[in-house]
Chains A and B, each alone.
Chain A
């Protein structure tokens, strides 16, 4: 009896799966968000998805699956069928999992639906810090070795990459690196004076800067940002940064590799439409993110370049567990 029920039910599931290619979506889609509720990834995904749903004519049920620097969510989606009913909504971190020893999967096991936007790093300081720009900070570090407390968010986080960049361009800095579990808590600590300087994403620091609670030192980009035109780009202090910039964290929606092409096309179209809505554009602009909304080969190319540049930077700074070479990630420029 039970056998028959089981058989009938699985037949139903199979039938539904077979039908999916033409009239996708025939059921609810799961969106797995790599980070916790209230974080930037969460906010971005929850604001673009309702627009994408409209274009798609389906429902995306979003869930936050946190832990393991996002690896839990990635593995969960990778473990589902490649039918387009499970989306991964993530940030840049997975591209570093392999070299950081955090997992053996990254975005190469996925097809990008849309790389929505990219953030710009900015170096900020406590307003009472005894320097006002990037140059002053470097001078202060030279005069007071081992005194400056620099905020960090763990290996592979934005601060670690920016710090690696500074170390590569300027030579090793003698500072104390204080770890926090995210840029939110670290920026809070910066305002409270527990740390002196922090590389953060512009969107997270911008309101604090406007209020004068946080002092901007330099934007880590090749040109000043429209949101903060008076803050100089770091390349104006040292040309050496041109090799690595522009660089920044990004947000994207992915499906498992092997998802039928027409499903990928439908999703891509939907998220591109979602990203184009004025509401979403305004939100991203307010938070200081640069819109990208790229997909297909362009997105694959972007991911590959990003991974090459960043993993090798971290490798040269001695922060990786294993060399990018072991995973076939070629040194940039080769």
Chain B
């Protein structure tokens, strides 16, 4: 599942990004093509902001930057065209192996469920599923670790930093108020 060529080609450090200098990885050409198209769309969009109205127009810097994007994306794409493919690498094995794809889909599901279901249930489901899949340990351990760390995160963000994550189906605010009233005692 996880055969990576060498330490400095795995892209884990930003200072030593992945990719190969003289070769192209599977999918790199598609990515490059998407970047070219996206840059051109953005350039067109930037032109639409204010055209060539004035040097100080809100669209001038966006136009300049998207033009740079389009040119560099094109250069990268054309250079990639001439490069040989990395031998022995495939998208399914080296770029998007099973676990990455599954976790990515789980993150998308998280985003979809966050608002209707609420932070606590969604996060609990996500953590339990991800931990079960990655660590492959017993249910008791999985659920224990998931709920324990979720509780910790919830206390830090919700109680200490009063970040109001979407409550969804959990009557969080009522519970906290009830708790407060309990402490406030006779008041």
Contacts and interface: CB of A to CB of B under 8 A. Distances in A.
Given A27-B176, A28-B177, A10 B162 contact: no
Contact of A30 (B164, B170, B176): B164
A33 to B, nearest CB: 13
A10 B118 CA distance: 12
A13 B176 CA distance: 14
Interface string A1-12: 000011001101
Interface of B is mostly: loop
B169 A9 contact: yes
B164 A16 contact: no
B162 A16 contact: no
Interface residues of A, number: 18
A100 to B, nearest CB: 15
A13 B173 CA distance: 10
B7 interface: no
Contacts of A10: 169
B82 interface: no
B174 A16 contact: yes
Given A26-B174, A27-B177, A63 B164 contact: yes
A5 B177 CA distance: 22
B186 interface: no
Contacts of B170: 9
B169 A13 contact: yes
A25 interface: yes
B137 interface: no
Given A5-B169, A30-B164, 4 more contacts: A12-B174, A16-B171, A28-B177, A63-B163
5 contacts: A5-B169, A12-B174, A26-B177, A28-B176, A63-B163
Interface of B: 162-164, 169-171, 173-174, 176-177, 180, 187
**A-B pairs with lowest CB-CB distance, top 3:** A27-B173, A9-B169, A27-B174
